[in-house]
């Protein structure tokens, strides 16, 4: 760039000189010669600058090619890394999509099951069967077979879902499954109006009271059953609704000696019954336990006596071993003395033999 500026300055100077010479018409020839020389110099300078520019262009082209090669290599490397990461991301996305697809299938299956369950619970008989099956499963998982009976018939001809055969004074406890669902669902339906929900709430309380009255009148019999019965509600939500917002119904049931339970609270009742049965069986077998303890005491006495005798024998053997050890020590001392005496006698005998050997 500096050389180009110099050329421009020389050209400007030449223009000035040309103007001056033009003004001085008397020395035109001389000036023309000067201008010719100046033109030749400028031509040579231009040629030299052109060569330098070509060299500079070639050098810049080489550096540019090298730089482009480096950039191309880095771009290829970055593209390879990006493709690898993209491939890994794609594989991960496909795996997650497969997992989501499986989860979607399970959700669809579960949705179908829920719809089937809703259809099942929509019918009173189906709900009753559902509650009975759940009741039987809970009872069988906790109590032995001889402690209960399903579909037990009482003396009044009524058949209860389950009868718990507990020992006196509790006796026979009747458990009946009830599932008040229609008014419960309407009471909690957000699409229903407040008036409809209030009416459903009152109807729900009446449904529960009717179930309590039916259980109290059918399944509590003097001198046959216990003085109370159990109403099993197979839905925790319905049970929670009764105890949380309808406590007057709970008090009414208590007054009728009917205990409302859910699957969770029934498990507590059944575990208590199992503990009572176990205690009764233990009391029945207490005489066997006493006899076994008596025999064990006799055997323990014999064991103690024999152990004492064994200890005496061990002590006697220990004393005998000590005495034997003392006797052995004395015998060893005697042997040492005998050996010492033999050593003392041997040198004298040798001297005699030597003296005998020196005699002519």
- CA–CA dist 322, 330 (Å, integer): 12
User: Quick one: pLDDT at residue 264?
Assistant: 92
The model's confidence at residue 305, banded by pLDDT at 50, 70 and 90, is confident
**131 vs 89: CA distance, rounded Å:** 50
* 14, pLDDT greater than 70: no
SS (H, E, C) the chain: CHHHHHHHHHHHHHHHHHHHHHHCHHHHHHHHHHHHHHHHHHHHHHHHHHHHHHHHHHHHHHHHHHHHHHHHHHHHHHHHHHHHHHHHHHHHHHHHHHHHHHHHHHHHHHHHHHHHHHHHHCCHHHHHHHHHHHHHHHHHHHCCHHHEEEEEECCCCCEEEEEEECCCCCCEEEEEECCCCHHHHHHCCCCCCHHHHHHHHHHHHHHHHHHHHHHHHHCCCCCCECCCEEEECCCHHHHHHHHHHCHHHHHHHHHCCEEEECHHHHHHHHHHHHHHHHHHHHHHCHHHHHHHHHHHHHHHHHHHHHHHHHHHHHHHHHHHHHHHHHHHHHHHHHHHHHHHHHHHHHHHHHHHHHHHHHCC
Cβ within 8 Å of residue 154, ≥6 positions away: 160, 174, 218, 219, 221, 224, 225
Instruction: Record the tokens describing residue 352, joined without a space.
Output: 């005699």
Checking if the pLDDT of 228 tops 90, the result is yes
Distance in angstroms (rounded) separating the CA atoms of residues 309 and 323: 21
Per-residue model confidence as pLDDT tens digits over 287-303: 777 788 888 888 888 88
Asked whether the predicted pLDDT for residue 239 surpasses 50, the reply is yes
User: Greatest CA span in the chain, whole angstroms?
Assistant: 174
72 vs 246, residue with greater confidence? 246
Lowest mean pLDDT among 49-53, 206-210, 249-253, 345-349: 345-349
35 has pLDDT over 60: yes
Of all residues in the chain, the percent with pLDDT exceeding 70 is: 73
Overall average pLDDT of the 203-207 stretch: 92
> Is 236:263 a contact under the CB 8 Å cutoff?
yes
> In this predicted model, what pLDDT tens digit does every residue of 144-201 receive, in sequence order?
999 999 999 999 999 999 999 998 888 999 999 988 888 888 888 888 888 888 999 9
Tokens of 302: 């014999």
Q: Mean of the per-residue pLDDT values for the chain?
A: 79
Q: pLDDT per residue over 86-129, tens digit each? A: 778 867 877 777 787 777 766 666 554 444 444 444 456 666 67
């Amino acid at each position: 760039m500096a050389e180009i500026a110099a050329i421009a300055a020389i050209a400007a100077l030449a223009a000035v000189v040309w103007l001056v010479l033009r003004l001085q018409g008397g020395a035109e020839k001389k000036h023309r010669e000067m201008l010719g020389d100046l033109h030749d110099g400028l031509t040579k300078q231009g040629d030299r600058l052109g060569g330098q520019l070509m060299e500079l262009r070639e050098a810049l082209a080489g550096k540019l090619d090298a730089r482009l090669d480096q950039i191309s290599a880095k771009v290829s490397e970055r593209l390879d890394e990006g493709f690898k990461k993209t491939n890994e991301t794609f594989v991960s996305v496909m795996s997650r999509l497969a997992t989501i697809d499986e989860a979607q299938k399970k959700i669809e299956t579960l949705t179908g099951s829920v719809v089937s369950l809703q259809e099942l619970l929509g019918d009173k008989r189906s709900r009753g069967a559902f509650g009975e099956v759940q009741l039987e499963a809970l009872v069988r998982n906790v109590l032995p077979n001889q402690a209960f009976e399903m579909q037990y018939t009482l003396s009044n001809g009524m058949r209860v879902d389950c009868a718990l055969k507990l020992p006196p004074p509790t006796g026979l406890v009747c458990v009946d499954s009830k599932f008040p669902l229609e008014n419960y669902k309407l009471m909690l339906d957000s699409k229903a109006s407040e008036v409809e929900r209030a009416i459903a709430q009152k109807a729900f309380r009446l449904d529960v009271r009717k179930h309590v009255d039916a259980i109290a009148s059918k399944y509590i019999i003097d001198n046959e059953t216990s003085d109370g019965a159990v109403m099993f509600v197979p839905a925790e939500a319905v049970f929670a609704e009764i105890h949380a917002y309808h406590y007057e119904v709970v008090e009414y049931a208590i007054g009728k000696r009917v205990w409302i339970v859910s699957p969770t609270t029934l498990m507590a009742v059944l575990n208590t019954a199992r503990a009572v049965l176990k205690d009764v069986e233990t009391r029945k077998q207490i005489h066997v336990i006493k006899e076994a303890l008596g025999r064990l005491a006799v055997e323990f006495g014999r064991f103690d006596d024999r152990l004492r005798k064994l200890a005496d024998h061990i002590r006697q053997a220990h004393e005998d071993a000590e005495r034997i050890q003392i006797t052995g020590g004395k015998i060893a001392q005697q042997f040492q003395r005998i050996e010492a005496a033999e050593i003392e006698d041997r040198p004298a005998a040798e001297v005699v033999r030597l003296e005998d050997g020196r005699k002519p």
